Amino acid sequence: MEAAKRHGFSDMGVMLGRSMRHIFRSMDTIFTVCLTPVAMMLLFVYVFGGAIQAGTDHYVNYLLPGILLIAIASGIAYTAYRLFLDRQRGIFERFHSMPIARSAALWGHVLTSLVSNAISVAVILLVALLMGFRSSAGLLSWLAVAGILALFTLALTWIAAITGLTAKTVDGASAFSYPLIFLPFISSAFVPTESMPAAVRAFAENQPVTAIVEAIRALLAEQPVGNELWTALAWCLGILIVAYWVAMRLYNRKAA
């Protein structure tokens, strides 16, 4: 049993290395993922920031959590795209004919998404620091933020896996990410929900992005997190579990 587990982890490592080589050979994917969120951060901080009443003297501190989520939502589109290409080219069938763990190829894409999105988040954090972002958070708070972002990435990545495994065209494989990118705009990511009309506010306060943004914002400011942390974790874990179950069923059905 232990040998089988080690063999499976080794296979996943090989698949991760394969996918990461594709990323590093075309670094434009990382730059493309970072470009739009960074441009939005510059626009909102230096153009709209003075007119937005967010209850803070440093609007970039308020804005950053939402920008990070937008970057992750953009990045997972490439996971669906790469999965679609592997499926279309018959790569999965070739791997399944080899003596490797059946799920290794799929997990390689998932882990690649986690690593590549972490790189994008690091780049955006660096730009935010240059723009004046500052945090009083300690090591544990930063680790909690990293954990939430990792869970959010995994949850969206498994949704991307579903799309990559079922899409009929390349455009369809990546288009699903557009609503996810738009979701932070109807949340507390850019402005407090108190300023929104009643119907919009009700939606904004009861969708996952607001809870995740508020939890990250409180952690970075070293403020009490309250129930937002548990709500954010519940959303991320709930989406992750359901998406993982559906994606694995689809993958096993196609691999049969």
Hey, what's the torsion of the CAs at 153, 156, 158, 164, to 10 degrees? -120
- Ranges 3-17, 168-182, 210-224, most confident: 210-224
pLDDT band at 234 (very low <50, low <70, confident <90, very high): very high
pLDDT band at 110 (very low <50, low <70, confident <90, very high): confident
pLDDT band at 92 (very low <50, low <70, confident <90, very high): low
| Rounded alpha-carbon distances, angstroms, from residue 75 to 84, 95, 100, 118, 252 | 15, 25, 28, 10, 25
pLDDT attached to residue 2? 42
Average pLDDT over residues 151-176: 86
Distance CA 247, CA 74 (A): 20
Mean pLDDT for all residues in the chain: 83
| Rounded alpha-carbon distances, angstroms, from residue 231 to 20, 226, 247 | 33, 9, 24
Instruction: Please name which of 223, 218, 213 lies closest in space to residue 189, comparing C-alpha atoms.
Output: 213
- Range of the structural domain that residue 213 is part of: 2-255
3-state secondary structure 230-254: HHHHHHHHHHHHHHHHHHHHHHHHH
Task: Mean pLDDT check: name the lowest of 121-125, 148-152, 159-163, 224-228.
Answer: 224-228
Is pLDDT at 202 greater than 70 in this prediction?
Answer: yes
Give 180 or 11, the one with higher predicted confidence: 180
Residue type, 225: V
Residue found under tokens 């990382």: 30
Give 204 or 226, the one with higher predicted confidence: 204
- Ranges 36-40, 95-99, 110-114, 233-237, most confident: 233-237
Question: Do 80 and 174 form a contact (C-beta atoms < 8 A)?
Answer: yes
Can you give the pTM of this predicted structure? 0.87
Question: Do 67 and 37 form a contact (C-beta atoms < 8 A)?
Answer: yes
- For the segment 119-151, what is each residue's pLDDT rounded down to a tens digit? 899 999 999 999 989 888 889 999 999 999 999
pLDDT band at 53 (very low <50, low <70, confident <90, very high): low
Q: Report the number of distinct structural domains present in the chain.
A: 1
pLDDT band at 100 (very low <50, low <70, confident <90, very high): low
pLDDT attached to residue 8? 61
pLDDT attached to residue 1? 37
Average pLDDT over residues 150-174: 87
Residues 6+ apart with CB under 8 A from 191: 52, 53, 54
Rg (CA), the chain: 19
Instruction: Please name which of 180, 73, 161 lies closest in space to residue 124, comparing C-alpha atoms.
Output: 73
- For the segment 66-90, what is each residue's pLDDT rounded down to a tens digit? 999 999 998 888 888 888 877 777 7
Calculate the CA 83 to chain-centre distance: 16
